[in-house]
Amino acid sequence: MNNINITSLDNGIKVVSEYLPYVQSFSLGFWFETGSRNENPETNGISHFLEHMFFKGTSKRSARRIADEIEATGGYLNAFTSKEHTCIYGRGLAKNMGKTFNVIADMITDPALKETEIKREKGVILDELFDIEDSPEEVIFDRFESSIYAGHELAMPIIGTEQNINKFNSEMIREHIRKNYGKNNFMIVASGNFEHSQLVKLAEKNFRAEFPAISRSKSKPDLYLPKYHYFSKETQQAHVIIGKTTAGFNDAGRTPVALLSQILGEGSSSRIFQRVREKNGMTYQINTFLNSFSDTSAFGVYYSTGEKTVEKVYNLILDELSKIKSKPVPEKELQKAKECIKGNILFSLENTTSRMMRIANSLFYHGRIKPVEETIADIDSVTVPLLMERAVEELNETAFTTVLISQKNINLKIAA
């Protein structure tokens, strides 16, 4: 980690860089530790809305000029909002780092937030919302998390609701910025071919004003009661998620759960994929997932199939979950799962944007930059007995929540 440097400016902003002399480019991210988890039912969706508004102009640059300045150098800008983070980032050739930095800094420190642009963007975001609602394979994950995190901020969808989107205005957005965007939850992180001193000078030049600190608390989700939820929708296929909450990023128990997920349903050689799709030919889409936050994760199995086979697929999945609890996973199969996860981690290191994002997430979730070697060692340390212990704990059928989206209700409730 000798090529990674961290500097805290006098105004409290943290600047982090990774020097990669063998590339000709950079990836630069401006990160805020805020997202839909920091909203309430009345403001749900405002973080995502603000992400869009960052691109709609400043007092010095129009939205068109922002795009033109970056694309004229061969670079690009993008952004995302999650439940815990907001990131505006750019990528370009190393010689254009200064230009990209100046543009993004202007976007986040001086957003115009004109009511005419807000009104126009409402149409864009509502169209995005309706696209999600029209895609059962997307919206079912929102429905699942709204169930397992019911009553908590994590239950709310990142994009918000139609009612909220329609009522957002510049005053509400500025108030959200005041409460949620400060020096103690902001980081500038970059990876590529540039010197750390260059990034620090750019930060000092563009962030001369004193950044206020913000004060917030984070509540952990309560233990949930398993539920069955049916949502009626005109679809050709039935869409199902079976799952529960489990260990988050800050819990060492997440690693064996990730390996369980890999063995059960990640990849075409996984148990559930082979049993349901290859052997029985009952579904095209089927996989496990582990969607993690700082203190919890959403773990489960998703599939889509015809209404006539939805119950049979459901039972096949439950059978595979039961099998992995009752018979030790062969050492060879565990080793294959480890290599798959390690391979994905190492492949991602060949991309500067992935490296930049890994550094930021490590600092947010662990308070330090966790070496890749340490992550690999964590994976390698999982033994068959530990995996089986975790399987018995996690794969209790009576603890699962089931979400179904289809034209008609089908009895998929697990008997207690």
- Provide the CATH number for the domain around residue 240: 3.30.830.10
Q: Which structure tokens are listed for 269?
A: 């050689």
Same domain, 21 and 148: yes
Per DSSP, helices labelled H in 212-330 are 254-265, 271-272, 310-326
- Residue from 329, 345, 351, 321 nearest 242 by CA: 321
The residues pairing with 26 across neighbouring beta strands, listed in sequence order, are: 92, 192
Same domain, 78 and 133: yes
Same domain, 161 and 251: no
The pLDDT of residue 224 is 75
The pLDDT of residue 202 is 97
| 44-60: pLDDT as tens digits | 999 999 999 999 999 99
The residues pairing with 286 across neighbouring beta strands, listed in sequence order, are: 303
- CA 12 – CA 7 distance, rounded (Å): 10
| Containing structural domain, residue 274 | 228-406
Residue 412 lies in a domain: no
Residue 215 lies in a domain: no
Alpha-carbon distance values, 270 to 46, 102, 275, 288, 311 (Å): 39, 46, 9, 10, 21
Q: 415 pLDDT exceeds 60?
A: no
Which residues fall within 8 angstroms of residue 267, CB to CB, at 6 or more apart? Answer: 273, 340
121 counts as catalytic:
no
Number of domain units in the chain: 2
- Residue from 297, 137, 151 nearest 231 by CA: 137
| 246-279: pLDDT as tens digits | 999 999 999 999 999 999 999 999 999 999 999 9
Residue 275 lies in a domain: yes
The pLDDT of residue 1 is 59
Q: How confident is the model at residue 287 (pLDDT cuts 50, 70, 90)?
A: very high
Check if the beta carbon of residue 13 is closer than 8 Å to that of residue 190.
Answer: no
Q: What is the percent of the chain where pLDDT is above 90?
A: 90
Which residue among 143, 173, 206 closes a domain? Answer: 206
The pLDDT of residue 110 is 95
Which residue among 174, 206, 238 closes a domain? Answer: 206
Same domain, 273 and 401: yes
For residue 361, give the H/E element and its range: helix 352-366
Count of positions (residues) in the chain: 416
Question: What is the residue type of 365?
Answer: Y
Q: 67 pLDDT exceeds 50?
A: yes
| 83-139: pLDDT as tens digits | 999 999 999 999 999 999 999 999 999 999 999 999 999 999 999 999 999 999 999
Question: What is the residue type of 328?
Answer: P
Same domain, 24 and 56: yes
Residue 216 lies in a domain: no
Residue 217 lies in a domain: no
Which residue among 206, 237, 259 closes a domain? Answer: 206
| 217-226: pLDDT as tens digits | 788 887 777 8
Q: 414 pLDDT exceeds 70?
A: no
Residue 279 lies in a domain: yes
How far from chain centre, in Å, is Cα 276? 28
The pLDDT of residue 381 is 98
- C-alpha dihedral (164, 178, 47, 118), degrees to nearest 10: 60
Model pTM score: 0.94
Q: What angle do CA 309, 310, 314 make, to 5 degrees?
A: 115
Mean pLDDT of the region 227-256: 94
Same domain, 186 and 241: no
The pLDDT of residue 374 is 96
Check if the beta carbon of residue 34 is closer than 8 Å to that of residue 181.
Answer: yes
Mean pLDDT computed over every residue of the chain: 95
Exposed / middle / buried, residue 406 (Cβ in 10 Å: 0-12, 13-18, 19+): buried
Same domain, 51 and 93: yes
The pLDDT of residue 213 is 82
Check if the beta carbon of residue 299 is closer than 8 Å to that of residue 393.
Answer: no
Same domain, 164 and 292: no
- CA 88 – CA 31 distance, rounded (Å): 7
- CA 161 – CA 213 distance, rounded (Å): 29
Catalytic-role residue among 51, 121, 266, 394:
51
The pLDDT of residue 294 is 95
Residue with tokens 């480890």: 338
Check if the beta carbon of residue 252 is closer than 8 Å to that of residue 153.
Answer: no
Residue 107 lies in a domain: yes
| 129-179: pLDDT as tens digits | 999 999 999 999 999 999 999 999 999 999 999 999 999 999 999 999 999
Q: 290 pLDDT exceeds 80?
A: yes
Same domain, 182 and 232: no
Same domain, 243 and 330: yes
Same domain, 186 and 264: no
- CA 301 – CA 244 distance, rounded (Å): 10
Residue 413 lies in a domain: no
Check if the beta carbon of residue 243 is closer than 8 Å to that of residue 146.
Answer: no
Same domain, 172 and 232: no
The residues pairing with 81 across neighbouring beta strands, listed in sequence order, are: 86
Q: 416 pLDDT exceeds 60?
A: no
The pLDDT of residue 101 is 98
- CA 229 – CA 245 distance, rounded (Å): 16
